[in-house]
Amino acid sequence: KAGVTQTPRYLIKTRGQQVTLSCSPISGHRSVSWYQQTPGQGLQFLFEYFSETQRNKGNFPGRFSGRQFSNSRSEMNVSTLELGDSALYLCASSLSGTGGTDTQYFGPGTRLTVL
């Protein structure tokens, strides 16, 4: 079974621009979660989508948004990029979502650099 895929793997943008990241979950998984990872903060939860609906949201500004399509693929958008948005963005998929006994499997991540 193919794992979680994320595109692009690397991205360089300038302040003020916007960016869209894509994630394709493991086949059959309906939940997609997004995380931001920085050296100082560790893994920070952005949001979770399940069956095209945002089910949970972390403590990030409204510049960070996402969506999920009917095939469970998900996109994350960051508008008006700031230098502090430079990070590794990770997508994780699971069968039925966070919580309970469900296990999350991570994609390789997208390394975003904001100049």
Partner 1 sequence: QKEVEQNSGPLSVPEGAIASLNCTYSDRGSQSFFWYRQYSGKSPELIMFIYSNGDKEDGRFTAQLNKASQYVSLLIRDSQPSDSATYLCAVSGFQKLVFGTGTRLLVSP
Interface residues with partner 1 (CB under 8 A)? 33, 35, 41-43, 45, 48, 55-56, 88, 90, 97-109
Query: Strand, coil or helix: what is 99?
Result: coil
Q: Token digits for 62?
A: 């409204």
Q: Which is nearer to partner 1, 78 or 109 (CB)?
A: 109
Tell me which residue has tokens 């869209």. 20
Q: What are the CA-CA distances from residue 101 to residues 3, 36, 59, 94, 97 (Å)?
A: 20, 23, 24, 10, 9
The nearest distance, CB 15 to partner 1, in angstroms, is 24
Q: Token digits for 17?
A: 């621009």
The nearest distance, CB 16 to partner 1, in angstroms, is 27
The nearest distance, CB 76 to partner 1, in angstroms, is 15
Q: Which is nearer to partner 1, 5 or 79 (CB)?
A: 5
Q: Which is nearer to partner 1, 95 or 108 (CB)?
A: 108
Tell me which residue has tokens 């794992």. 3
The nearest distance, CB 68 to partner 1, in angstroms, is 16
Amino acid 40 reads G
